[in-house]
């Protein structure tokens, strides 16, 4: 398998990263994960624009423009003969001589690499009968509108869910009004109450591309969506719950902890079907 | 310069890290920074015990015991001819075949490396006349009792301070009672009011080794220390403020944003002098 690293195609299992890469020592970097099928890239423009916006926010240099990434990504996918897979992009603030918090001096090259690999094995039963989900405290930082490398709280939450046989964790914070649910460990979520859709507003959660596609789709279908704080009790009292992400697409939720939901529910079923059209149309032509 | 990496001494500038190292993709790792002088290691046992405790907390394997790390660290320092310097240790959950949140299967070797390099250049004026410090929102996660690789919020805070010519950032959170100060971007802090010392209790801040040494020292000197929430206004109304860390030792603070403090103040001066004794005694014999 090949990787694309700082301008070159290299073997993925070659070790190319320095001990002093700020991605490795400080989590000083960002990433994207895209879906690829038959050499086409799903919502490529949206992903690369989000990466560029986060790079600008953190003051990181992105050494390639959108067209260069597109061309290189396609070659990488082609070289690795990935037909149905994932494309991973990572950008870090580069290598500094010794570990210092201070940003490297201007002109220090960033580290950029891409990996392309077959789609992770997924249990189709999660779409047919719904996924099991477990709640976990949201221990994340205040930079969750960006896809940063600071993912240890997500790792803990998702692995706690995996240990119980779950598919995903739903993260909750607490304030004076009680517990509220922010997002999944690597997905967004919606719930349905009385025929209306609810999902958290983008405040320290990711402006998920799939989330926005589903919002646009649901509105086009005439549904009402409220973007606001979703209390845990409110969520547990919903008629339907579903996850959305690049890999999960629209995935019904069968249970959150001990609470069961019909899966897929009526609204979820309609959105799953409609999203397939968005999904297919969202792949950039070769 | 040499690095010690997974059992071998290698050149530090060799690239030895995989694209798929979980330290690089998820920040799934922990670290320590120690001070070394003439081949001796400051508070080695405390640092290694903290690393081992955090590894256990996160379910990470640490492949070397305390004595192996000690012996290897000394050889690394010796090979690099570091007389007055720093030793950096990093442990990650290792390399997985492709990027997955799920922990690698049991037996997957972790990544462990150590770097040894000369002490960063420090302005002695910071101890003589005090450091300038700037406040910044504490955007960190809920895992701050551990030295994790999830340091992007610290990086932002410290670089905002650097841009203003400051030495360190002091991080503040907000609750119903107002703003309170948690710790520095890479240090702990104390303030003095009416002859008494105040510092935050260890609740989502690091159980800093230097902090504990200073607490023990101050108590032995007969001072009263309160470990509790320190409001920002309370801090700004203090008679003295000082930072503590492995590298900063006890460092007086001359200003926090626009508020000036006598630096070094009386209490700070006494603790700086007394800490020199702890510092010298704290180096493990060769």
pLDDT tens digits, residue range A40-76?
Answer: 999 999 999 999 999 999 999 999 999 999 999 999 9
Structural domains of chain A, with CATH:
2-118 (3.30.470.10), 125-281 (3.20.10.10)
Q: Give residue A286's pLDDT.
A: 66
CA distance A169 to A177: 22
B128-156 pLDDT per residue, tens = 999 999 999 999 999 999 999 999 999 99
Sign, CA torsion A155/A157/B91/B207: positive
Phi-psi domain of A68 (left: phi exceeds 0; alpha: psi -120 through 50; beta: other) = alpha
Question: Buried (b) or exposed (e) across B114-146, using 16+ Cβ within 10 A?
Answer: bbbbeeeeeeeebbeebbbbbbbbbbbbebbbb
Cβ atoms of A31 and A21 closer than 8 Å: no
B28, B155, B158 member nearest A155 (Cβ):
B28
Query: Exposed, middle or buried: residue B177 (CB in 10 Å: 0-12, 13-18, 19+)?
Result: exposed
Q: Give residue A140's pLDDT.
A: 98
Residues of chain A contacting B140 with CB distance shorter than 8 Å: 141-142
From chain A residues 44-73, the ones with a CB under 8 A of any chain B CB are 58
A215-257 pLDDT per residue, tens = 999 999 999 999 999 999 999 999 999 999 999 999 999 999 9
Residue in the structure block whose two tokens are 């100060």:
B181
Cis ω before B264 (30° cut-off from 0)? yes
Q: Is A25 on the interface with B (CB under 8 A)?
A: yes
Mean pLDDT within A106-113: 96
pLDDT(A184) > 90? yes
DSSP state, residue B188: E
pLDDT(B210) > 90? yes
Q: Give residue B285's pLDDT.
A: 76
Q: Give residue B284's pLDDT.
A: 82
Chain B: give the shortest CA distance to residue A14, in Å.
7
Q: Give residue A261's pLDDT.
A: 98
Phi then psi for B182, rounded to 5 degrees? -90, -60
Predicted-complex ipTM score: 0.97
Task: Search chain B and give the residue with CA nearest A24.
Answer: B24
Residues of chain A contacting B17 with CB distance shorter than 8 Å: 15-19, 21, 24
Q: Is B96 on the interface with A (CB under 8 A)?
A: no
Q: Give residue B27's pLDDT.
A: 98
From chain B residues 1-20, the ones with a CB under 8 A of any chain A CB are 3, 5, 12-13, 15-20
Cβ atoms of A3 and A113 closer than 8 Å: yes
CA distance A249 to B147: 35
- DSSP states of A107-154 as a string? TPPPEEEEEEEEPPP--THHHHH-EEEEEEE----S-TTS-BS--HHH
**Residues in a beta bridge with B188:** B244
Q: Give residue A98's pLDDT.
A: 82
Mean pLDDT within A82-91: 97
Residue A9 DSSP SS3: strand
Percent of chain A topping pLDDT 70: 100
C-alpha to C-alpha distances, B47 to A248, B30, B44, nearest whole angstrom: 42, 12, 5
Q: Is B284 on the interface with A (CB under 8 A)?
A: no
Q: Is B28 on the interface with A (CB under 8 A)?
A: yes
CA distance B52 to A24: 20
Residues of chain B contacting A162 with CB distance shorter than 8 Å: 102-103
> What is the set of active-site residues of A?
147
Q: Give residue B206's pLDDT.
A: 97
* Site from A152, A161, A182 to mutate, B interface, most B CB atoms within 10 angstroms: A152
A88, A139, A143 member nearest B152 (Cβ):
A143
Residues of chain A contacting B137 with CB distance shorter than 8 Å: 142
pLDDT-derived band at B286 (thresholds 50, 70, 90) equals: low
Mean pLDDT within A141-155: 98
Cβ atoms of A133 and A255 closer than 8 Å: yes
Phi then psi for A27, rounded to 5 degrees? 60, 30
B83-128 pLDDT per residue, tens = 999 999 999 999 987 899 999 999 999 999 999 999 998 999 999 9
CA distance B166 to A101: 13
Residues of chain A contacting B115 with CB distance shorter than 8 Å: 19-20, 98-99
Residue A64 DSSP SS3: coil
Structure tokens at A2: 């090949």
Rounded to 10 deg, the angle between the A266-281 and A209-220 helix axes is 110
A13, A102, A120 member nearest B18 (Cβ):
A13
CB half-sphere exposure, B190, CA atoms < 13 A:
32
From chain A residues 198-227, the ones with a CB under 8 A of any chain B CB are none
Phi-psi domain of B231 (left: phi exceeds 0; alpha: psi -120 through 50; beta: other) = beta
Query: Exposed, middle or buried: residue A46 (CB in 10 Å: 0-12, 13-18, 19+)?
Result: middle
B15-33 pLDDT per residue, tens = 999 999 999 999 999 999 9
pLDDT(A84) > 80? yes
pLDDT(B244) > 80? yes
């Amino acid at each position: 398998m090949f990787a694309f690293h700082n301008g070159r195609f290299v073997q993925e299992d070659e070790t190319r990263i320095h001990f002093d890469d700020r991605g490795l020592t400080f989590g000083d970097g960002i990433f994207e994960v895209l879906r690829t099928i038959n050499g086409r890239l799903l919502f490529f423009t949206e992903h690369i624009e989000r990466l560029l916006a986060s790079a600008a926010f953190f003051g990181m240099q992105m050494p390639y423009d959108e067209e260069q990434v597109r061309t290189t990504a396609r070659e990488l996918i082609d070289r690795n003969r990935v037909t149905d897979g994932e494309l991973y992009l990572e950008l870090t603030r580069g290598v500094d001589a010794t570990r210092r918090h201070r940003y490297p001096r201007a002109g220090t090259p960033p580290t950029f690499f891409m990996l392309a690999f077959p789609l992770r094995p997924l249990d189709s039963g999660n779409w047919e009968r719904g996924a099991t989900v477990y709640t976990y405290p949201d221990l994340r930082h205040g930079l969750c509108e960006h896809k940063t490398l600071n993912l240890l709280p997500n790792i803990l939450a998702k692995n706690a869910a995996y240990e119980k046989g779950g598919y995903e964790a739903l993260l909750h914070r607490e304030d004076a009004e009680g517990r509220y649910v922010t997002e999944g460990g690597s997905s967004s979520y919606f719930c349905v109450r009385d025929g209306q859709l609810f999902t958290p507003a983008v405040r320290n959660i990711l402006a998920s591309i799939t989330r926005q596609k589903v919002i646009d789709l649901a509105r086009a279908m005439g549904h009402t969506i409220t973007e606001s704080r979703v209390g845990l009790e409110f969520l547990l009292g919903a008629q339907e719950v579903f996850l959305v992400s690049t890999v999960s697409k629209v995935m019904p939720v069968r249970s959150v902890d001990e609470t069961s939901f019909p899966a897929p529910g009526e609204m979820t079923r309609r959105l799953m079907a409609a999203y397939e059209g968005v999904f297919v149309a969202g792949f950039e032509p070769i």
